[in-house]
Amino acid sequence: AALFGILILSTLIGILTTGIESKLNSLRRGKSFVLESNHIVVIGWSSKIFSILTQLSHAYEKKGKFCVVILADMDKVEMEHKIKSQIARLNKQNKGLKFLKTVCRCGEANNLADLEMVNPTNAKSIIIIRDGQNDTDSLNFKTSLALRKVTGGRLPCQLVIEMSDPMNIDAIRHIDTKIHVVNPGDLIARVLVQATREPGLSDVYDEILSFDGEEIYFTKSADTAGQSVVDVINGLQGTTFIGIRKKNGETLLNPDHNLIIKDDDEIITIA
């Protein structure tokens, strides 16, 4: 009876050990479901991932902690190690990502099961970046369609996607109205040409378009409703008025000074 009891106990210990090791290996591989909500999903991996995390950290500095979930076809431990190394380097420069929480998952961008892991239905926004492959545009097409499938046919949040071929931009916009396309090659070329004519212009772009320092804000205030543009300009302290965004999305930059601001208008400022 004693030997039989030892045999049964050893078997149970072996089963428990195997089960725990299997679960830990699954967690290390990054195949578990993300329980976060109102998070930001980044699909893909490239050298731009660290700039994205830095800018998001600056953007949410006044709002508190936030979570970024990264899905890429590489080892989860390797991704976490690179991110921690980058955060440690920024901390030495007093540019630490204090409000950032990162969750890494290993998977393919166009695989439905892998996309479901990052919980895109409850995400605040989704970013798809190019990973340096030659046929990235077609992969991004498949990823966008797969996200619509996973989220029930309509994207629940804004999707910002990086495309390289201008011919594909109009096509991918027809997938969903919440898709915003960025063509970095075209954008960089325009900045370079303008910077050759106006030296220092690239520094101006970096100052007002990044989330560090002076930024562009869209704000709605009951105090500005019913006032003219010139009254709002004279009433702003430490802020530069540059335009109005209407309820239908129309943007008016440098509008007529006698224009009356309505209740549902947003004023655009640099502050």
Which tokens sit at 203? 């520094």
| Token representation of residue 178 | 């919440």
* pTM exceeds cut of 0.85: no
Amino acid at 252: L
pLDDT in tens, 57-113: 888 777 777 899 999 988 888 888 888 888 777 766 656 566 788 899 988 888 899
Mean pLDDT taken over the chain: 85
Confidence at residue 159, expressed as pLDDT on a 0 to 100 scale = 93
- pLDDT confidence tier of residue 168, bands split at 50, 70 and 90: confident
DSSP run (H or E) holding 64: none
pLDDT tens readout for residues 63-74? 777 899 999 988
Q: What does DSSP say about strands 251-253 and 240-245: parallel, antiparallel, or unpaired? A: antiparallel
Sequence-separated (6 or more) residues with CB below 8 Å from residue 63: 99
Distance CA 179, CA 181 (A): 6
pLDDT for the residue numbered 101: 85
Query: What is the C-alpha to C-alpha distance for residues 87 and 104, in angstroms, rounded to an integer?
Result: 15
Alpha-carbon span 251 to 178, nearest angstrom: 18
pLDDT at 26: 67
Per-residue exposure over 50-77, b if at least 16 CB sit within 10 Å of its own CB, e if not: bebbbebbbbbeeeeebbbbbbbeeebe
What's the pLDDT tens digit per position in 126-146?
999 877 666 678 888 889 999
